[in-house]
Amino acid sequence: MSEAIETHEHDVVIIGAGGAGLRAAISAAQPGVRVAVLCKSLLGKAHTVMAEGGAAAALGNLDAADSWRTHFYDTVRSAHFINNYRTAEIFAKEAPDRIIELEGWGALFDRTPDGKIMQRPFGAHTFRRLAHVGDHTGLELIRTLQYRAIQSEVEFFQEFTSTRLLLDGDRVAGVMGYYRETGRFALFRARAVVLATGGWGRLYQVTSNSWESTGDGAAMAFMAGAELGDMEMVQFHPTGMVWPPGVRGILVTEGVRGEGGVLLNSEGERFMLRYDPERQELSSRDVVARAIYKEVQAGRGTPHGGAWLDITHKGAAFILRKLPNMYDQYLTLANVDITKTKFEVAPTCHYTMGGVRADPETCATTVKGLYACGEVACGLHGANRLGGNSLSDLLVFGRRAGEAAREWAQGLEAQPGIDAAEVQAEQERVLAPFSVEKGENPYDLHAQLQAVMSTHAGIARDRAGLEAGLAKVEELKERSRKVACGGSRMFNPGWHMCFDVKSMLTLGEAIIRSAMARTESRGAHWRTDYPDETEEMGSVNFVVWRDGDEMKLKTAPVPKMPPELRALFETGRAPGVPAPTGSPSERR
Amino acid sequence: MKDTITLSVFRGDHTGGEERSYDVPVTEGMVVLDAVHYIQQHLAPDLAVRWNCKAARCGSCSAEINGRPRLMCKTRLDVLGEGVIHVRPMKSFPVIRDLVTDVSWNYRVARQIPGFTPAHPAPFVMHQVDVERSQEFRKCIECFLCQNVCHVLRDHDLKSRYVGPRFMIKIAELEMHPMDTVDRIDFTQKDAGVGYCNVTKCCQEVCPEHIHITDNAIIPMKERVADEKYDPVRMLVRAIRGR
Ligand SMILES: Cc1cc2nc3c(=O)[nH]c(=O)nc-3n(C[C@H](O)[C@H](O)[C@H](O)COP(=O)(O)OP(=O)(O)OC[C@H]3O[C@@H](n4cnc5c(N)ncnc54)[C@H](O)[C@@H]3O)c2cc1C
Ligand code: SF4
Ligand code: SF4
Ligand code: FES
């Protein structure tokens, strides 16, 4: 079964070509530094391409009072104070430069009347802050980075699935995987590896995520000994499409509400006025998603179990200019003209706040030479990610990860060693599904895992449900040992799915274990048996790591803010927002 | 609509192949990609297909559906009528397996186009009216359906001479960017081969992003070239348009 394996040697290998991976590649690339990017699909197709609403940065083009402090404040508040303050600080300070840099590389954001980058309001952002291009900002971002990166010496290996990180002692030594087209293996020897593999929304039945979001990177990092944090924090976006069945879960951008859309229940009531009178439809995602869930539970849902979203009052011309893709999406896929009628929406699994624990300055993980940035990393978003904060996260930390990886690689005397036996064993492991007879169908396993996660670890959670869910995941894990596929190694989706399912089972287990441990409700994590936020839980993050074949869980303290940052939260008012006349700073 | 529909899907590789029929139960609002996924899950797990977003945003799922180039995730079964639905890979690119084709030529072409080079570092002051033309071209999702239908590439296989409509809009986008300083006129004529386009507009008809490829990019680029060089097709266009 052993075959001569194609071997490459690089300084920095980046897994992933979404916004984070491409930005990392650009900053890792320098004359004389050998950089490779590996990605599961074609260049420019990564999940980032789907991002709609915009990228958040305190440019202050429309609201001069905005500053990094206000962006920091909004981010930490939405994270419910369990994110890493330093990550959020760096993020808020650097995001404007990263957006302007994109403009310098050819990105064409929508403009303000005086010719600057336009910024749109978005949920729980104090000021108008999202740089955007209509409702296809992710496309703009990925194309700009893609065309910038191909002008450099970076080598791209497209439609290549990485399956394992190789180690030399306690540091990273390379990546193994196979070309999807031919099924042939390749080994990338590397001094440093950057994980930019995105999230794992595919664990849920109703999701806005593309097929790639199976969490391979986080699962590989876990196998290699890295720590995963905040795994219980899974974001459900309040507005996904509901009907017809084939489109269920496809995202309806928050931009619809940002541009003035309102949510109504079956009785025609604008229910968000009840749940959050101040921010209304533009409250944070966890609040709006739960509000819709509760309205449906209370029997005030739409025909297919959601809420109505209505933007008709803005007029057709405005909608066509600001939300062209949304218009097209509903017209072609659902026969609904959103300029004329209200339409149904319901929560959809959207983003994973948890992931590989990464250092704020360098994105270094707990494994030497291994870096993580973008959605696969954890630290910035805590219990709830703000809309628009992911795209700027990719840019800020993609750049930092690429730089740190290059510096680490340059500091090593020699290429780390590779263990031939490990390479051999990995090939056997990956090929095993071809020789299992009467085994498990990977598509069935995936569908069952999605059902378990949606039922037991979805928007609403409780102890009994989580325990039952864990038992079911354990059972699926056992069955996955006998996962099988037929056909040849050439572009065989059934075989590819065998590997995806195993990654997702690991992460599913991590989500449930962490969700069981967090006996409170915070941000996206809603425990019906522990409905309140507690002070005790507010000072810890839950961390899972691998001990032999076992997943272990521990707590880590949430890093404490220095006094000058803590002071920002003491007035109860976002920095830059004037105090209501006559009342001192005590107002809460 | 019927309860089940028959999909006849190309199965094979670069050495050849044939269409095979699969019966698929129909649900409301189903698109062709849903049907292909059903086949993968229940009838042929190794059926090769590219897709990512299932929301017409990534441009991965291009195929020829009943002979017409389309995105599988944006094509509803109920617009295709009652008969058997034929699904084949794009014809202008070599088949890898089943519905997956080798589009790597496009990525090689992309690398040859001189990149954006601004007059000074960002931020720029640019007005909405000035960026709109290039913004239209930047909506391109690189599905390569236009490349697939362009007869210069499809019937004459002149990939070595003409970059095709996708990259004509890329060049136009850079040329019309308010801050760009590079002159790509010579490149457009010699390397990109703009003269091979005889403005049939087939590309523009299939573009899922409704980009006016011929009207807004190729014809203006031909005119820019012609201001400097001679191009017979453009002379014809001018004659037809009467100016
Ligand atoms: C519909 C939608 C709309 C969104 N809108 C917004 C928005 O408006 N604003 C915002 O800030 N955020 C938005 N988000 C979130 C944001 O788009 C994502 O969080 C972000 O794009 C993730 O980028 P990334 O670079 O981390 O990973 P991704 O873009 O997911 O890229 C992952 C890369 O890793 C590769 N990869 C994965 N596994 C492997 C493997 N085993 N081997 C090799 N390669 C692998 C993939 O091929 C891919 O290239 C949206 C998300 C969705 C789904
Ligand atoms: S208009 Fe030109 S580019 Fe478009 S299909 Fe016709 S010949 Fe090809
Ligand atoms: S121009 Fe249109 S048809 Fe051509 S690749 Fe782009 S999106 Fe596809
Ligand atoms: S799957 Fe992305 S365009 Fe069809």
Domains for chain A: give ranges and CATH numbers: 239-348 (3.90.700.10), 420-539 (1.20.58.100)
Q: Is A103–B123 a contact, with Cβ atoms under 8 angstroms apart?
A: yes
- The alpha-carbon gap from B210 to the nearest alpha carbon of chain A, in Å, equals 11
CA separation for the pair A567, A27 (Å, rounded)? 35
Give the residue, by CA position, lying nearest to ligand 3 atom 2. Answer: B207
Mean pLDDT by 10 residues, chain A (588 residues): 83 98 97 96 96 95 97 96 98 98 98 97 93 94 97 95 96 97 96 98 92 94 98 96 87 90 96 94 91 94 94 95 88 91 94 97 98 98 96 98 98 94 96 94 95 95 97 97 92 92 97 98 96 96 96 98 96 88 47
pLDDT digits (tens, 9 = 90+) for A40-55: 999 999 999 999 889 9
pLDDT digits (tens, 9 = 90+) for B75-123: 999 889 889 999 999 999 999 999 999 999 999 999 999 999 999 999 9
Residues 131-160 of B with CB under 8 A from A: 131, 134-135, 138-142
Q: Are A263 and A257 in contact (CB under 8 A)?
A: yes
A365 lines ligand 1 (CB under 6 A): no
Is B54 in contact with A42 (Cβ distance < 8 A)? no
The full set of domain ranges for chain B reads: 4-101, 104-241
Q: What residues of A act catalytically?
A: 237, 257
Which is nearest to A202 in space by CA: A193, A212, A194, A192?
A212
Of all protein residues, the one whose alpha carbon is nearest to atom 2 of ligand 2 is: B197
Nearest to B205 by CA among B154, B173, B165, B232: B165
Instruction: Return the HEC string of A440-492.
Output: ECHHHHHHHHHHHHHHHCCCEECHHHHHHHHHHHHHHHHHHCCECCCCCCCCC
What confidence tens digit (pLDDT) does each residue in A429-483 have? 999 999 998 899 999 999 999 999 999 999 999 999 999 999 999 999 999 999 9
CB spacing of A491 vs B98 below 8 angstroms: yes
Output the tens digit of pLDDT for each of chain B's 243 residues.
Answer: 568 999 999 999 999 999 999 999 999 889 999 999 999 989 998 899 999 998 899 999 999 999 999 999 999 998 898 899 999 999 999 999 999 999 999 999 999 999 999 999 999 999 999 999 999 999 999 999 999 999 999 999 899 999 999 999 999 999 999 999 999 999 999 999 999 999 999 999 999 999 999 999 999 999 999 887 666 666 666 666 654
Q: Taking Cα atoms as reference points, which of A223, A545, A218, A224 lies closest to residue A369?
A: A224
Q: What DSSP state is assigned to residue A5?
A: P
Q: Which of A43, A111, A328 is nearest residue B131 as measured by Cβ atoms?
A: A111
B97–A325 CB contact, under 8 Å: no
Q: How far apart are CA A382 and CA A584, in angstroms?
A: 31
Question: How distant, in Å, are the alpha carbons of A249, A259, A457, A506, A577 from that of A301?
Answer: 17, 23, 22, 34, 36
A132 reaches B (C-beta below 8 A)? no
Give the distance (Å) from ligand 4 centre to CA of residue A45.
9
Tell me the count of A-B CB pairs closer than 8 A. 168
Residue in B27, B134, B139 nearest the CB of A246 = B27
What's the CATH architecture for B4-101? Roll (3.10)
Q: Give the DSSP letter of residue A56.
A: E
Q: Do B45 and A486 touch (CB under 8 A)?
A: yes
CA max distance for chain A: 80
Kindly give the pairing relationship between strand A155-157 and strand A35-38: parallel
Phi-psi region of B197 (alpha: psi -120 to 50; beta: other; left: phi over 0): beta
pLDDT of A583 reads 47
Listed in sequence order, the DSSP H helices in A79-183 are: 85-104, 137-149
Q: In the sheet that A343-352 helps form, which strands lie side by side, from edge to edge?
A: A234-241, A343-352, A307-310, A262-264
Q: Which ligand is nearest to the CA of B71?
A: 4
Asked if residues A523 and A538 have their Cβ atoms less than 8 Å apart, the reply is no
pLDDT tens digit string along A366-383? 999 999 999 999 999 999
What separation in Å is there between the alpha carbon of B153 and the centre of ligand 2?
9
| B142 contacts in chain A (CB < 8 Å) | 44
Partners of B122 on chain A (C-beta within 8 Å) are 100-101, 103-104
CATH superfamily of B104-241: Alpha-helical ferredoxin (1.10.1060.10)
Q: Which residues pair with A160 in a beta bridge?
A: A179
Residues of A in contact with B110 (CB under 8 A): 147, 150
Task: Mention every residue, 6+ apart, whose C-beta is less than 8 A from residue A352.
Answer: A199, A200, A201, A215, A233, A234, A235, A375
Q: How many residues does chain B have?
A: 243
A47 touches chain B (CB under 8 A): yes
Query: ipTM above 0.90?
Result: yes
From the CB of B152, is ligand 2 less than 6 Å away? yes
**Total length of chain A:** 588
CA–centroid distance, residue B198 to ligand 2 (Å): 6
The answer to whether residue B77 neighbours chain A at the CB level (below 8 Å) is: no
Contacts of B131 in chain A (CB under 8 A): 108, 111
Q: Is B49 at the interface with chain A, CB within 8 A?
A: yes
**Residue contact B49–A110, C-beta within 8 A:** no
Compute the distance between CA of residue B60 and CA of residue B48 in angstroms, rounded to an integer: 13
